[in-house]
Chain A
Amino acid sequence: MNGFVRRFAVCIILLAGVFTIGAAPGDPPIRIGSTLALTGPLASTALVHKLTGEIYVEGLNRRGGLLGRQVEWIVKDDQSKPELARTLYEQLITVDKVDLLLGPYATGAILSAMGVAQRYNKLLVHHTFGIPSLAKYDAQFPTWSLGPDPATTFPNTVLDALASTPKPPKTIAIVTSKFPSVHFMSLGAREIARKRGLQEILFLEWEFGNRDFGAIAARIKDANPDFLWVGAIGLEGNQLLDALKKIDYTPRYHFYMYPAPGPMAQAPEAKNALAGTIFEQDPPFTDNPSAAEFSKIFNERATKAGLPYSRVETQAAASYTAWQVLEAAVTATKSLDDKVLAEWLRTHRVDTIQGKLRFDGPSNYGDDLMRVKQVQNGRWVTVWPKAFAAPGATLATP
């Protein structure tokens, strides 16, 4: 009997060993650190990135994690302050001793994080950096596929879209916030419009945080352009549209640089408003199975979290792509070494929900994958280039 018990116990121990060798439960999780603007003026968009990150990490851990280890995401609140982001990234590296870094939300904070990553030779994959020329660190990898010179390429894409309409605009008004990542795009649009022969009849700049758009709206109405380019970020686009509505003016063609997706899509006065996108939750983007699966989960979670726009669009897609890029590099190299990962990313393309990304251009930027979307029936749909247009969607004209 004793012999049977001993043999049984040995079998149990061996079996337990067989099952545990693969999972290595003693291995600590891989810790990925980042900050997000969970409070402060950028919080509404940063919450989209938080939700996306949570969904991705859950899915990743269900698939077995990275290198057979579970993944833990440490996310700290940088309060929309780049200077705080700098401190927190320093803390993530030196105190929390995270294995990998992921970028924060928005250009200013990313620039701060980039400086810290460079100081410690850490890889930094980031999702929402708007000024490629400022990304000097060679181990930073952008996943918002703006291309290396968006101030030239993107206004051209927008004007190409408008040129394809039966009544292309002949005059343009460019009104813009002085928020850095928006302002340089508006200046680019100004230059491109001039080169393409559009007559600029109004150019206005306002300080970020402007409250009263009444006078700006009155000047736009007075100029009455064929095409209104609004260099707006977040709430500003809606504020301007509100002011235009109050004086009974509806712009013919109107474009907004980085609008708050929910409020703009849902505002009746934003009908036919244009904006840039890298992903919208329609085919052909959702033909990619991981994009379709992510969209489904995101819709459920966003609705539950009370987000006003529960569809996946640029912000969520850029964020999801950052995680995909990080996973692809770690999986391919079977390494957590920042140098090894950076080297691999520089020489390989990564398949993402935006399309295939490469990082071998200036400032590690690859192809310009920016497309044009439009508010139609209370939601954003991609309308240009035609190959990426949502099924049945065409650029609506005034």
Chain B
Amino acid sequence: MALPNFALLAQSILSGIFTGALYGLLGLGLSLSWGMLRQINLAHFALAFLGAYLCYQLSTVNGMDPLATMLVIVPCFFAIGVALQWIFARFRISAFNSLLVTFGLTVIVESVIQSVWTADFRRLASGYSDMKFRVGVLYVPVPELLTLMLSLTLSFAIWAALRYTDLGRAMRASAEDAPIAAAFGVNQKGLALLLSGVCAALAGVAGVCIALSYTLAPAQIYTWIGVVFAVVMLGGLGRALGPLIAGILIGVSESVTMAVTAPSWAPLVSFSLLIVVLLVRPGKV
């Protein structure tokens, strides 16, 4: 195994950071709904891809700037998230059942995507696609950089909101011990609706990032599930910064593995890391 040169290694690490940022962004909403709402929301991936296709549609057909599509997608997805939470609460769906229900939703969303946009591959050709710049020996693609910036901004914003605002404290208290929080006047139902809306909106933002950087196909929904679940578990449930850190850790590990050894070893990295953390620090996951 020969050591790669600096440029190759640095470019691979950068690529890993970008991929990890997207893992983190996808994992953020999933982690919050799992940790704070006790819902294992598989439909999060389907919503992200629905967001990606809407971004594609609004940009390609309606001529909107891909980033401006967030002005439409985020409120719509917030409403979808609120509606989902209302249904979950109305029918008292347990954590385990939420896995089954949201898997069903994922299949439905996949079918909707396929019937509207067909199973063919779709690629968003925007002004951002070809934008990149050089920093020394490194090439920095702008769409991936935007994903990193969005991921960092949203993760820190949500972390700060949960930590420093009354609303955030109420949410954490509600997740910790709902009856006691309710006894202190916390409107648990309202907060759950708000949080579910935020999680769905985050899926919409992740979808825009996916559309900016990746070719779309309905079945691609499932290719992200395994690694993002590993990111969420590694980052800790209900934590805002955890998925970002875990995502970048896994993304960089995968990229470095691909740069140094056989790329076919890369998928083992995320799950090996997860197993190691589960063995070494079981209480932290």
Q: Does B19 contact A (CB under 8 A)?
A: yes
1/0 per residue A34-67: CB within 8 Å of B?
0000111101101100000000000000000000
1/0 per residue B108-123: CB within 8 Å of A?
0011001000111111
A306 / chain B contacts, CB cutoff of 8 Å? 118, 120
A385 / chain B contacts, CB cutoff of 8 Å? none
Contact B111 A210 (CB under 8 A): no
B121 / chain A contacts, CB cutoff of 8 Å? 44, 234-235, 238, 260, 262-263, 308
Tell which of A218, A245, A305 touches B259, judged by Cβ atoms closer than 8 Å.
A218
B4 / chain A contacts, CB cutoff of 8 Å? 219, 222
Of the candidates A40, A212, A260, the one having the most CB atoms from chain B within 10 angstroms of its own CB is A212
Q: A247 — nearest CB in chain B belongs to which residue?
A: B139
Cα distance, A260 to B119, chains bound together (Å): 12
Tell which of A41, A210, A218 touches B15, judged by Cβ atoms closer than 8 Å.
A218
Cα distance, A214 to B147, chains bound together (Å): 15
Within residues 206 to 265 of chain B, which ones have a CB less than 8 A from any CB in chain A?
213-215, 217-220, 223-224, 227, 251, 254-259, 262-264
A206 / chain B contacts, CB cutoff of 8 Å? 258, 263-264, 266
Q: Does B284 contact A (CB under 8 A)?
A: no
Tell which of A38, A47, A212, A263 touches B251, judged by Cβ atoms closer than 8 Å.
A212
Cα distance, A121 to B94, chains bound together (Å): 50
B62 / chain A contacts, CB cutoff of 8 Å? none
Q: Does A204 contact B (CB under 8 A)?
A: yes
Q: Does A9 contact B (CB under 8 A)?
A: no
1/0 per residue B6-31: CB within 8 Å of A?
01100110111011000000000000
Cα distance, A214 to B132, chains bound together (Å): 14
Contact B264 A44 (CB under 8 A): no
Q: A177 — nearest CB in chain B belongs to which residue?
A: B264
A178 with B258, Cβ < 8 A, contacts A44-B120, A262-B121, A305-B118 known: no
Q: Does A211 contact B (CB under 8 A)?
A: yes
Contact B264 A205 (CB under 8 A): yes
Of the candidates B11, B132, B259, the one having the most CB atoms from chain A within 10 angstroms of its own CB is B11
Contact B118 A212 (CB under 8 A): no
Tell which of B118, B227, B262 touches A47, judged by Cβ atoms closer than 8 Å.
B118
B101: shortest Cβ distance to chain A, in Å?
20
Q: A248 — nearest CB in chain B belongs to which residue?
A: B139
B165 / chain A contacts, CB cutoff of 8 Å? none
Contact B111 A39 (CB under 8 A): yes
Q: Does B141 contact A (CB under 8 A)?
A: yes
Q: B9 — nearest CB in chain A belongs to which residue?
A: A218
Q: Does B267 contact A (CB under 8 A)?
A: yes
Q: B10 — nearest CB in chain A belongs to which residue?
A: A218
A40 with B219, Cβ < 8 A, contacts A205-B263, A212-B255 known: yes
Q: Does A396 contact B (CB under 8 A)?
A: no
A43 with B139, Cβ < 8 A, contacts A215-B259, A218-B259 known: no
B264 / chain A contacts, CB cutoff of 8 Å? 178, 205-207
Q: B110 — nearest CB in chain A belongs to which residue?
A: A39
* Interface bracket on A: 35 or more
A37: shortest Cβ distance to chain B, in Å?
9
B223 / chain A contacts, CB cutoff of 8 Å? 209, 211
A44 with B217, Cβ < 8 A, contacts A214-B15, A216-B258, A218-B11 known: yes
Cα distance, A247 to B130, chains bound together (Å): 11
Cα distance, A117 to B213, chains bound together (Å): 43
Contact B19 A214 (CB under 8 A): yes
B224: shortest Cβ distance to chain A, in Å?
7
Cα distance, A206 to B19, chains bound together (Å): 17
Q: Does A156 contact B (CB under 8 A)?
A: no
A216 / chain B contacts, CB cutoff of 8 Å? 258, 263
1/0 per residue A216-247: CB within 8 Å of B?
10110110000000000011001100110111
Within residues 160 to 211 of chain B, which ones have a CB less than 8 A from any CB in chain A?
none
Q: A267 — nearest CB in chain B belongs to which residue?
A: B123
Tell which of B110, B114, B132, B255 touches A215, judged by Cβ atoms closer than 8 Å.
B255
Q: Does A374 contact B (CB under 8 A)?
A: no
B219 / chain A contacts, CB cutoff of 8 Å? 39-41, 43, 80
Cα distance, A178 to B263, chains bound together (Å): 11
Q: Does A307 contact B (CB under 8 A)?
A: yes
Cα distance, A305 to B254, chains bound together (Å): 39
Tell which of A43, A219, A263 touches B258, judged by Cβ atoms closer than 8 Å.
A219
Q: A222 — nearest CB in chain B belongs to which residue?
A: B8
Contact A214 B120 (CB under 8 A): no
26 contacts between A and B (CB under 8 A): A41-B219, A43-B119, A43-B219, A44-B119, A204-B262, A204-B263, A207-B266, A211-B19, A212-B16, A214-B11, A214-B18, A215-B11, A215-B12, A215-B15, A215-B16, A215-B257, A218-B7, A218-B259, A219-B4, A222-B5, A222-B8, A242-B213, A242-B215, A248-B139, A260-B121, A308-B122
Residues of B within 8 A of A (CB): 4-5, 7-8, 11-12, 14-16, 18-19, 110-111, 114, 118-123, 130, 132, 139, 141, 144, 213-215, 217-220, 223-224, 227, 251, 254-259, 262-264, 266-267
A-B contacts besides A212-B16, A214-B15, A218-B259, 10 pairs, CB < 8 Å: A38-B119, A46-B119, A204-B262, A205-B263, A205-B264, A209-B223, A212-B254, A248-B132, A260-B121, A262-B121
